Structure 1
Amino acid sequence: MRKLVYFSTISIRHAVLLVASFVMFFPFLWMVTNSIKTNEEIWSFPPIWWPKSPEWHNFIDAWTMAPFSQYIWNSVFTATCIVGIQLINSAMMAYALTQFRFPGKNILFAIILSSYMLPVAATYVPSYVTLANLNLLDTYTGIIISNSASVFGIFLLRQAFLQVPKEMVESARMDGASHWQILWKIYFPLTKPSFITLGLISFIQMYNNYLWPSLIVKSEEKMLITQGLRQFFIQEGAYGINWPLIMAASTFTIVPLLLLFAFMQKWFVSAISSDQGVKG
């Protein structure tokens, strides 16, 4: 009887997870299938799940109608630079908050966390003015510098650093290790899943960022993929008249994110499932 109840519980749990997974995957599936349909098939009722004659050339047409390779490169380049800077900044700040003793440390950490509750849009005007005074508008440098700090990253790495045994740190100090060596030779290897999780989340956010880059970047050759998709929607997409091409463009622009998650999935799941966030 207990085994029957156990297997019934497992089956229900798997069924719920299967339904939830399909619900989350359905928008992507619908986008891909619509990218190889005609306009008439997209708007047909009842909906057509698979076209009679797949229009695979929509991907080639969409790719050649706009400089998507440049847009994707701009997004990947800026997001990679931002992630690298955020990881270094967050690690050093988390190290200082966990290893140094100085007046007002708890107050400083409280201020950092409280800034996370500040609406992002509230920082746009002062950030824009600052970049304008530094002549960094419409530049890659402006995009990268304005996103170089991450409150979430500081919090995440601080919590991970707190789980590292203090004995290991004390032993390293007795052996003459510097703060830089302790940070990157002890804390980093033991909390690597947290670093990878932060990098993955930050990369996705920066790659999908639209509002802030659209305010400071105006040159087409420097636009990110989100801006490029909007331009394509307005111009070549003719305000949504040619939906198959829009769906095709949307499909191949998320390929870098899918590849990134495919390579980082093991580390990402490891960090999420780990009770302490520390791996040996």
Structure 2
Amino acid sequence: MKKVPILLARHVVLIFISIMMVFPFLWMVVSALKTKDEIWQFPPTLWPEKPMWNHFAEAWSMAPFDQYIFNSVFTAMAIVLIQIVNSALIAYAFTQLRFKGRNFLFSIILITYMLPVAATYVPSYVILADFNLLDTYKGLILSNACSVFGIFLFRQAFLQVPKELIEAARVDGATHWTIIWKIIFPTTKATFITFALISFVQNYNNYLWPTLITTSESKMLITTGLRQFFIQEGAYGIQWPLIMAASTFAVLPLLILFIFVQKWIISGISDQGLKG
């Protein structure tokens, strides 16, 4: 019985934190249903007197949000697939192969992770320009094809795989590719899924770099398209209901993704070892 107050207090705190986390999104959706006067009204109202559901249809028709969302989802998925493959292969080399300077090379890779991302924009831009990859899907994808975080994460996961399993596979004549995808991948699946989700959200929300290398509207990501909508159709913040409706379009795909993969996120975070 002594644990009841503790459990009750814990649930109250968790409920409060959950409300604080979801409140900005709820306020965004509700603001999209208000008029301009209701948004600036003080004290603010939690629900509009007459919900303006037409704001969503109006905002959707004023800009090609379907193209923006497609560009973001397509490029993010392509980047995730490439990052998973090359990060897994590099991590496998660092954990299962023996070669001179292995630890030194891994240290150099980690050092690059400490560099500010903005410091790489100029040389990356010059390289893409030399290969005529500016304002293209290829430029967006290839410029984000490698993840130092992914290499580090997979290396740590691969180190947990029992060496006996790998040695037994080598005795049976398994190739490196077979070991990676038949032995290591099944035992570290949670790490693969967790990294894929983190990388997808990160690349879907990427803003500054895509803004620098894309100019045509047909290649803009949802983040850049939302800024364009804010400047043009939103009249620099005058049309706040439409801006809130457009922001809802940008967040909605991530919410749908979370609903379907939340169990994998929890599994990846809470996984403390390998299941036998």
TM-score (norm 1): 0.96
- Find the counterpart in structure 2 of residue 256 from structure 1: 253
- Find the counterpart in structure 2 of residue 243 from structure 1: 240
Aligned amino acid, residue 179 of structure 1: H
What is the distance in 1 between the residues matched to 2:192 and 2:245? 33
Aligned amino acid, residue 222 of structure 1: K
- Find the counterpart in structure 1 of residue 29 from structure 2: 32
User: Within the alignment, does 1:90 sit opposite 2:91 as a pair?
Assistant: no
- Find the counterpart in structure 2 of residue 157 from structure 1: 154
What is the distance in 1 between the residues matched to 2:14 and 2:95? 38
Farther-moved stretch of structure 1 (102-111 vs 76-85) = 102-111
Farther-moved stretch of structure 1 (17-26 vs 78-87) = 17-26
Give runs of aligned pairs for residues 164-179 of structure 1, distance below 5 A. 164-179=161-176
How far did 1:231 drift?
0.7
What is the distance in 1 between the residues matched to 2:141 and 2:223? 16
On the 8 A contact 1:75/1:207 being kept in 2, the answer is yes
Q: Among residues 8, 20, 24, which one is paired with 1:11 in the alignment?
A: 8
Aligned amino acid, residue 120 of structure 1: V
Aligned amino acid, residue 88 of structure 1: V
Unaligned runs of 5+ in 2: none
The C-alpha deviation readout for 1:213-243, integer Å capped at 9, x for no partner, is 1100001111111111011000111111110
Aligned amino acid, residue 25 of structure 1: V
Q: Among residues 201, 212, 218, which one is paired with 2:215 in the alignment?
A: 218
Aligned amino acid, residue 13 of structure 1: R
Q: Among residues 123, 128, 134, which one is paired with 1:126 in the alignment?
A: 123
Aligned amino acid, residue 257 of structure 2: L
Q: Among residues 213, 217, 228, which one is paired with 2:225 in the alignment?
A: 228
Give runs of aligned pairs for residues 43-58 of structure 1, distance below 5 A. 43-58=40-55
On the 8 A contact 1:193/1:279 being kept in 2, the answer is no
Unaligned runs of 5+ in 1: none
On the 8 A contact 1:138/1:218 being kept in 2, the answer is yes
Q: Among residues 20, 24, 37, which one is paired with 1:23 in the alignment?
A: 20
Aligned amino acid, residue 107 of structure 2: A
What is the distance in 1 between the residues matched to 2:145 and 2:268? 23
- Find the counterpart in structure 1 of residue 106 from structure 2: 109
- Find the counterpart in structure 2 of residue 182 from structure 1: 179
Give runs of aligned pairs for residues 134-145 of structure 1, distance below 5 A. 134-145=131-142
Aligned amino acid, residue 86 of structure 2: N
- Find the counterpart in structure 2 of residue 205 from structure 1: 202
How far did 1:90 drift?
0.7
How far did 1:184 drift?
0.6
On the 8 A contact 1:196/1:264 being kept in 2, the answer is no
On the 8 A contact 1:79/1:207 being kept in 2, the answer is yes
Farther-moved stretch of structure 1 (106-115 vs 220-229) = 106-115
Farther-moved stretch of structure 1 (109-118 vs 214-223) = 109-118
How far did 1:163 drift?
1.0
How far did 1:279 drift?
4.3
Name the SS of the counterpart of 1:101 in structure 2. Answer: coil
- Find the counterpart in structure 2 of residue 195 from structure 1: 192
The C-alpha deviation readout for 1:132-178, integer Å capped at 9, x for no partner, is 11111111100100000001111111111111111111111111110
What is the distance in 1 between the residues matched to 2:119 and 2:202? 18
How far did 1:9 drift?
1.9
Q: Among residues 62, 65, 73, which one is paired with 1:65 in the alignment?
A: 62
On the 8 A contact 1:191/1:279 being kept in 2, the answer is no
Instruction: Give the aligned CA root-mean-square deviation in angstroms.
Output: 1.0
